[in-house]
Amino acid sequence: MPLVAHSKLPSFSRLRESGLEVLDIDRAAEQDVRELHIGFLNMMPDAALEATERQFMRLLGSSNRIAQFYIHPFTIEGVDREGAAGEHVKNYYEDFDELKADGLDALIITGANVTEADITKERFWQPMTEIMDWARGNVTSTLCSCLASHGAFMHYHGILRTHLARKRWGVYSHRIVSSSHPLLSNINTRFDTPHSRFNDVRREQMEDAGLQVLITSKEAGVLLAVSPDGLRFAYFQGHPEYDIVSLMKEYKREISRYLRRERDDYPPFPDNYFCNEARSLLEVYEHDLVAADSSGKSIPEFPEEAILALLDNTWTDTGKALFNNWLGLVYQLTNRDRKLPHMPGVDPDHPLGKGTGSAW
């Protein structure tokens, strides 16, 4: 399913340069191919704004069903933007009221940085949950990532997340709970996925609320769960969309926070991410950095190129498969000309099975 560059969003050019197929709008118009319109509520902080766009768009554009993808990024009140990120949103993001009027087939809601222990007190809480409520009745499926999942758990089920004693940060092994759900079609029974979060919702909490848990990890907890109907909401606690360098960039940001005295300790390594050789290089770098910082000398340059050569990506193929399955179900359920076949884990008599579609 190729992405369609229907706007001047810079991520389209960046993805095309990286080798992903991206159709120009004129070429797309010449093809007799069905369109899927997907809203993208990006609440990530400024430093990760554009990278997050590309990460999700790459997974969407790597799916293999015959359709054209129109991605519609937008934002909400309560997510403040400054500088280049503010200009990016102003110049390239769309108006949600217009998207509502035209209709969407699916929606993705990203994570966000929080400042309150109680997420219901965040400034973006009410706008975010209002969009969730609209999507619940107007799009086939909403995929929530990280903080958005925790917000939906709280909003719809009263589930309180637990603050972890230590940041859950790294790459973890996962297993599928049951292969019967169509989201797990052709998925490896064991695979890796990154996580990066300070809070957790346990499997028992989800199941007590009637949610279907699909993928778990002994170390990291639940990766993927779905709403009781099987697909109206898909909840990720981890990050299958991450690039190979995402955790390294987070690690560098934590080092910068240490240098600015925003954290007292030098950041630990993300779990299961850096190999022994990379760890050795970074231990030398830590020694040199701490010595330079304490003596007032220039901070040494982070050995990025050397570390990049030692990183392994063990999760993207599975992320593509999961998104392909999600989009395949959206494709079926929004096709008004086809009767929904019974699929394990999805109730054909539920309103979800009737589909909603869009007015494009």
Residues labelled as active-site residues: 146, 239, 241
Task: Please state, in angstroms and rounded to a whole number, the distance separating the CA atoms of residues 267 and 255.
Answer: 6
Residue whose C-alpha is closest to residue 174's, from 218, 143, 204 = 218
Task: Please state, in angstroms and rounded to a whole number, the distance separating the CA atoms of residues 315 and 172.
Answer: 10
Residue whose C-alpha is closest to residue 235's, from 174, 164, 326 = 326
Query: Which tokens in the block code for residue 348?
Result: 């054909």
- For 146-211, list the strands marked E by DSSP: 162-176, 190-200
Alpha-helical (H) ranges within the chain are: 10-17, 25-30, 49-61, 83-92, 96-102, 125-138, 147-157, 203-208, 246-259, 276-295, 304-308, 316-333, 351-354
The total number of residues written for the chain in this structure: 360
Task: Please state, in angstroms and rounded to a whole number, the distance separating the CA atoms of residues 311 and 295.
Answer: 32
Longest alpha-carbon distance in the chain:
71
Contact predicate 109/149, CB 8 Å: no
Q: Are strands 106-109 and 35-41 parallel, antiparallel or unpaired?
A: parallel
Task: Please state, in angstroms and rounded to a whole number, the distance separating the CA atoms of residues 296 and 58.
Answer: 43
Contact predicate 253/234, CB 8 Å: no
DSSP state letter for 316: H
Residue at 334: amino acid letter: T
Task: Please state, in angstroms and rounded to a whole number, the distance separating the CA atoms of residues 52 and 240.
Answer: 12
